[in-house]
Amino acid sequence: MPVKLTIDGQEVEVEAGSTILQTADYMGIEIPRFCYHERLAIAGNCRMCLVEVEKSPKPVASCAMPVAEGMVVKTDTPMVKKAREGVLEFLLINHPLDCPICDQGGECDLQDETVAYGRGKSRFEENKRAVEDKDFGPNVKGTMTRCIHCTRCIRFITDVAGVPELGATGRGEHMEVGTYVEKALSSELSGNIVDLCPVGALTSRPYAFTARSWELKKTESVDVLDALGSAIRVDTRSNQVMRILPAINDDINEEWLGDKSRNSYDGLLRQRLDRPYVRNKKGKLEAASWGDALKAVAAKLTKAGGSKIAAIAGDLADAEAMVALKDLFTALGSANIDCRQDGAKIGGPRGSYIFNSGIAGIEEADALLLIGTNPRVEAPVLNARIRKRYLKGGFKVGAVGPAANLTYKHENFGDEAKILEAIASGKHDFAKVLKDAKRPMLIIGQGAVARADGDVILGLARKIAEATGMVTDGWNGFNMLHQAAARVGGLDLGFVPGKGGHDVAGILDGAEKGEIEVVYLLGADEIDMNRLGKAFVIYQGHHGDAGAHRADVVLPGAAYTEKGGTYVNTEGRVQVTRLAVFPPGEAKEDWKILRALAEVAGHAPGYDTIEQVRARLAQVNPVFGRLDELSPAAWEAFGAEGKVSGDAFAATIANYYMTDPISRASTTMAECTAAFVNTAAERTGTHG
Amino acid sequence: MTLHPEDQPWQPKSFAFTEANLAQAHKIIKRYPEGRQQSAVMPILDIVQRQEGWVSLAAMNLVGEMLDMAPMRVYEVATFYTMFHLKPVGKVHVQVCTNVPCQLRGSDDVVHACKKELGIGIGETTADGKFSLAEVECLGACVNAPVIWIGDDFYEDLDAGSTVKMIEAFKRGETPKAGSQTGRQTSAPAGGPTTLKDAGPTTLKGDA
């Protein structure tokens, strides 16, 4: 029911239940605030948002005041200004004047509001209080003397992240925000409290004292360290990434970002491949010119040719590079290409390998079955979305897979694949829960399909989806959660074995036996390099990880912050990263390397510019032509019939903080690993 | 630098309720509807304090587990209320009010007497662990100022002499009579009644 009210003389009609502050935001009237945040619960404790409401004798905290019919609100009267000045003066009583050495300086709400409402001089002559700094772990630096007790961090960690480790102890002047017992915040989303903190109490530890916000060039881009494709902002100075922050994308990450995606940027500086290398006769990698390296690779590829060459695309490969590599291998007559390093048995119709409901669709679901997945480590931001839905109530979650603390209540039915058969046939209790739900949903992880009977399990998941009414008009609750940013794009453009071609397992077998003589790794580091046998290995990528160590020729490529690359996220949403810095040294954008190589090999493709490559992508699969859109996939038969093995679903990610060459090269992630993963055995569950 | 609770040497490794206290705790939990057990946190922390004499970290963790609430939420409650002791205190915890009404009525003398008699300062505990001394804010018994609060009792209308006498009694292991130490009845006027002096029921005009 709409309510009519007046703010600053303008009449407005809003839904009942809105607050004055929300209404003012909607009208474009600015009201200062510290504790209010649109994605957190309302606390109403900073008092900065005071406004005058007619007939109310005292100023009113607009963030916590619901609108009422006929209300007359004034936000710019002398009384309001005086009230806000009073609040700010109190806040500044104990706030240190250390802006020149504070990392928040320049992007600090308190600084900004002080400019607007601060008095020129403090009337407070006593000593300021001092609070001991807290150690929140490798991601968050706490300078708690600066804290103004807005409790945004507490509300985020408790409600959104679901790891209630932060709180306010003591009271009055002795109130302190912290963990009471000293411990690092064990949430994968802990970095977000840095963004939420309106002052410099919580700042980023890796970013500490490295740059000032006004020196940074800001580039909006897309994260590729998990398969969500979260919106990010890459902040750079000269040619270096100084920090990565989340950007807003309500369909994917709202405004959150996982700690790995946020803080592994220092890995972009380490272990980089900055020039081509060719292994010499002594077996040592030796720096080479681009020309020599490409000639060496082209010679090997054309000489072996056909079924004796193979290509594997890694988890961070962009679609442009993959299509160029695919075209080259097609020209060379090889069908041995694969983008599924983990051997996942996927790649049928599009509806079988994307997150059909969309990430935002989680909020519409009313029952959820997790199959072989731990979303908390596979995609922490998505897990926060599931928790958000869970907190609204009326949402049953069941899981088949390894037991884990997911931050919301769920029932774990065990980790045996056989349970799926029972659910599919309706014998299991949870089948009824799904059937009774209006919008049931399942999320199947890579742990369920990256196994020998993966296609049977995929078939079972399809049966469950069909038997419980997950696929209806306007709703498709069959969702696959990927871990690799490149995977859906690779499948969309058909980077899978062609007719008579081998998949990753087949390529490794072939290389071991000597049947495959040349293996081209496009950023592929997660395969067992020992199984490549005597094959001639070309590694194209940006980090000196497992692949580069094994390689005979190294071709330096660009990381995701250094190129405009197309990535398709787990929902099937096509997004493009933007160039924020240039690749180091002689490294080049990946599709250009492959374009040059194809020419040297005598198979020049029909594209010379990035636009032409993207046109080629759209030609291969029209979805690439629809940027940032969800294209509903048709529901077709997929998966296989057969018996599932007795093997339990295994956890696919042992260490959230190190899953790819970038995060493995990051010292911040190494610190996180030491702080959270290697002590996991000692830790006890704290979630109630 | 203050020690974090988990590093404090006086924190016990574990805590367990006595059988009677556990039964009492469960009785309290049952007062609240399903899913609202957290409401029992304060009475249960009180049981802890009666058993341990103070509230240890191990006990708070156990209470959190019992009530299905995050330990942090228990810490928040326990640290908010000054009546929960987060450090061991003496068996007889002497809490002297020094707010304005008590001070006007001579609480400075009372504090001094306590310090002298116990041989400890504010916030300290005697070597035998029997007594500890604390200065507290208004106890709400200003009409009988100055006031000392020990255990579940208030000792009122104190001066240096009666304070010493009271502490001596505690030292002997007795529990002196609570309430006014000058012998007046609760908060009745100090020198006896000043009005309604006639004994017996009064008849109001027009009652007949």
The domain spans of chain A are 2-87, 94-205, 218-269+656-688, 277-345+487-625, 354-481
Q: Is the pLDDT of residue B6 over 50?
A: yes
- Chain-chain contact of B72 with A179 (C-beta, under 8 angstroms): yes
Residue-wise pLDDT for A527-544, tens only, equals 999 999 999 999 999 999
| Beta-ladder partners of B131 | B92
Q: Is the pLDDT of residue A114 over 60?
A: yes
Q: Which two tokens stand for residue A100?
A: 């020149």
Task: Report domain B5-80's class.
Answer: mainly alpha
How much of chain A exceeds pLDDT 70, in percent? 99
Residue in chain B nearest A165 by alpha carbon: B72
CA atoms within 13 A of residue A451's CA, in its CB half-sphere: 22
In one-letter notation, the amino acid at residue A186 is S
What is the per-residue pLDDT across A423-473, written as a single tens digit (0 to 9) for each?
Answer: 999 999 999 999 999 999 999 999 999 999 999 999 999 999 999 999 999
Which amino acid appears at position B111 of this protein?
Answer: V
CB-based contact (8 Å) between B77 and chain A? no
Architecture of domain A94-205: 2-Layer Sandwich (3.30)
Q: Tell me how close the Cα of A158 comes to any Cα of chain B, in angstroms.
A: 10
End-to-end CA separation in angstroms for chain B: 76
Which residues in chain A have Cβ-Cβ distances shorter than 8 Å to B71?
Answer: 181, 686
Report if pTM > 0.90: yes
Compute CA distances A478 → A441, A464, A585, whole Å.
6, 9, 44
In this structure, CATH architecture of domain A2-87: Roll (3.10)
Residue in B1, B6, B76 closest to A167 by CB: B76
Identify the DSSP state of A306: G
Does A124 lie at the interface with B, CB-CB under 8 angstroms? no
A12 - beta bridge partners? A5
Task: Give the CATH fold of the A277-345+487-625 domain.
Answer: Rossmann fold (3.40.50)
Each residue's pLDDT tens digit, A340-394 = 999 999 999 999 999 999 999 999 999 999 999 999 999 999 999 999 999 999 9
Q: How far is B175 from chain A (nearest CA, A)?
A: 33
Q: List all residues 6 or more positions away from A250 whose beta carbon is below 8 Å from its beta carbon.
A: A360
* pLDDT mean across residues, chain B: 91
Contact between B94 and B144 under an 8 Å Cβ cutoff? The reply is no
Among B5, B6, B73, beta carbon nearest to A164: B73
How far is residue A684's CA from residue B13's CA, in Å, rounded to a whole number?
15
Asked if A687's CB is within 8 angstroms of B76's CB, the reply is no
Do A569 and A229 contact (CB within 8 A), yes or no? yes
| Cβ atoms of residues A486 and A339 within 8 Å | yes
- Chain B residues with CB-CB distance to A164 below 8 A: 70, 72-73
Nearest Cβ partner for B5 among A132, A170, A181: A181
Name the residue of chain A whose CA is nearest to B65's CA: A688
d(CA A200, CA A177): 13
User: Quick check: B70 and A182 CB within 8 A?
Assistant: no
Q: Which helix (H) or strand (E) holds B180?
A: strand B179-180
pLDDT given for residue A556 in this prediction: 97
**How far off is chain B from A685, nearest CA to CA, in Å?**
10
Structure tokens belonging to residue A426? 């309706």
> Strand, helix or coil at A574?
strand
Which residues lie below 8 Å from residue B156, measured CB to CB, with a gap of 6+?
B141, B144, B145, B146, B147, B179, B180, B181
- φ/ψ bin of A652: left (φ > 0), alpha (ψ from -120 to 50), beta (otherwise): alpha
Residue B55, sorted as left (phi over 0), alpha (psi -120 to 50) or beta, turns out to be beta
* CATH classification code of A354-481: 3.40.228.10
Of B57, B70, B80, the CB nearest to A164: B70
What's the alpha-carbon Rg for chain B, to the nearest Å?
A: 21
Element (H, E) at A465: helix A454-467
Domain B92-174: CATH class, spelled out: alpha beta
Over residues A11-28, the pLDDT tens digits come to: 999 999 999 999 999 999
Domain ranges (residues) in chain B: 5-80, 92-174
Closest-CA distance, A36 to chain B, in angstroms, reads 21
Task: Please tell me if residue A159 touches chain B, with a CB cutoff of 8 Å.
Answer: no
Q: Tell me the chain A residues in contact with residue B5 when contact means C-beta distances shorter than 8 Å.
A: 180-181
Residue A145 tokens, joined: 């003397």
- In degrees and rounded to multiples of 5, residue B29 shows phi and psi of -60, -35
**Residues A132, B80: C-beta atoms closer than 8 Å:** no
The alpha carbon of residue B86 is apart from the nearest alpha carbon of chain A, in Å, by 11
Measured CA angle at A478 (ends A477, A481), to 5 deg: 115
Among B6, B7, B37, B72, pick the best mutation site for testing chain A contact (most A Cβ within 10 A): B72
Per CB-CB distance under 8 Å, the chain B contacts of A179 are 72
B68 close contact with A: CB closer than 8 A: yes
Alpha helices in A125-258 (DSSP H): 152-155, 192-196
Query: B4 CB near a chain A CB, below 8 Å?
Result: yes
Q: What is the pLDDT of residues A214-261, one digit of tens each?
A: 999 999 999 999 999 999 999 999 999 999 999 999 999 999 999 999
